[in-house]
């Protein structure tokens, strides 16, 4: 509500009122508790959503990393088996060549 601060009256020599001027100062209204509360609720909601999204992304990345690790282990085992088999075959051929040459 408006608040009257000062009333100025201009009078002539006989005392008649010529002009009356009222200075009204409106109270200053801060954003106060309402805007602060609203801003706080919005920030908390954004933080919760960001955390939930981040956790989902980390789970997906974790699953993909596990899958890649398993695939890499299988390929490494196959490569080791192929290398072992190739070494055995080479050793067998070498022994067969020595036996046939004697």
The string of pLDDT tens digits covering residues 26-79 is 777 666 678 888 899 999 999 988 888 777 776 777 788 888 999 989 999 999
Angle at 78 between CA 72 and CA 81, to 5 degrees: 140
The pLDDT of residue 51 is: 85
The pLDDT of residue 81 is: 92
Q: State the Cα–Cα distance between residues 34 and 41, nearest whole angstrom.
A: 11
The pLDDT of residue 93 is: 82
Angle at 32 between CA 29 and CA 33, to 5 degrees: 145
Decide if pLDDT at 84 tops 70: yes
- 0.85 surpassed by pTM: no
């Amino acid at each position: 509500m408006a608040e009257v601060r000062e009333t100025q009256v201009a009078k002539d020599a006989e005392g008649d009122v010529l002009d009356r001027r009222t200075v009204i100062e409106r109270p200053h209204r801060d954003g106060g508790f309402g805007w602060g509360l609203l801003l706080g609720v919005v920030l908390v909601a954004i933080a919760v959503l960001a955390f939930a999204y981040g956790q989902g992304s980390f789970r997906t990345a974790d699953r993909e990393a596990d899958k890649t690790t398993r695939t890499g282990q299988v390929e490494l085992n196959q490569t080791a088996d192929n290398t072992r088999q190739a070494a055995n075959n080479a050793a067998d051929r070498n022994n067969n060549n020595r036996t046939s040459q004697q």
